[in-house]
């Protein structure tokens, strides 16, 4: 198997291999090096942001389901949300 050595001479940073600024790993790294200072607050803020985005994307789906009478748990409901049913044991 051929091995390649990557160092600063042959490394070309690409836009595709960088993390976006809103990636949660940045908060985790900051919390790690600051002994968790303000980590809980930042984590809660991130959770609220994620919840707000989820609600914004869920609202049109719920409106569509209401207009067409799609009931929760039906195959059409799962198709609308792009999920599959789970088997109950």
Element (H, E) at 79: helix 75-81
Mean pLDDT across 11-37: 70
Query: Each residue of 27-76: pLDDT tens digit?
Result: 777 777 666 667 777 778 888 888 888 888 888 888 988 999 999 888 88
Radius of gyration of the chain from Cα atoms? 22
- Indicate the range of 5-9, 21-25, 48-52, 70-74 predicted with least confidence: 5-9
Q: 2 versus 11: which is more confidently predicted?
A: 2
Query: Over 70: is that where the pLDDT of 88 sits?
Result: no
- Place 24 in a pLDDT band, splitting at 50, 70 and 90: confident
Q: What angle do CA 34, 35, 40 make, to 5 degrees?
A: 90
């Amino acid at each position: 198997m051929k091995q390649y050595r990557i160092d600063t001479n042959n490394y070309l940073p690409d836009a595709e291999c960088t993390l976006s600024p809103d990636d949660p790993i940045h908060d985790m790294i900051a919390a790690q090096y600051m002994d968790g200072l303000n980590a809980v607050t930042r984590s809660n803020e991130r959770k609220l942001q994620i919840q707000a985005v989820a609600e914004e994307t869920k609202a049109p789906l719920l409106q569509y389901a209401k207009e067409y009478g799609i009931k929760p748990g039906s195959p059409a409901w799962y198709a609308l949300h792009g999920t599959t049913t789970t088997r109950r044991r």
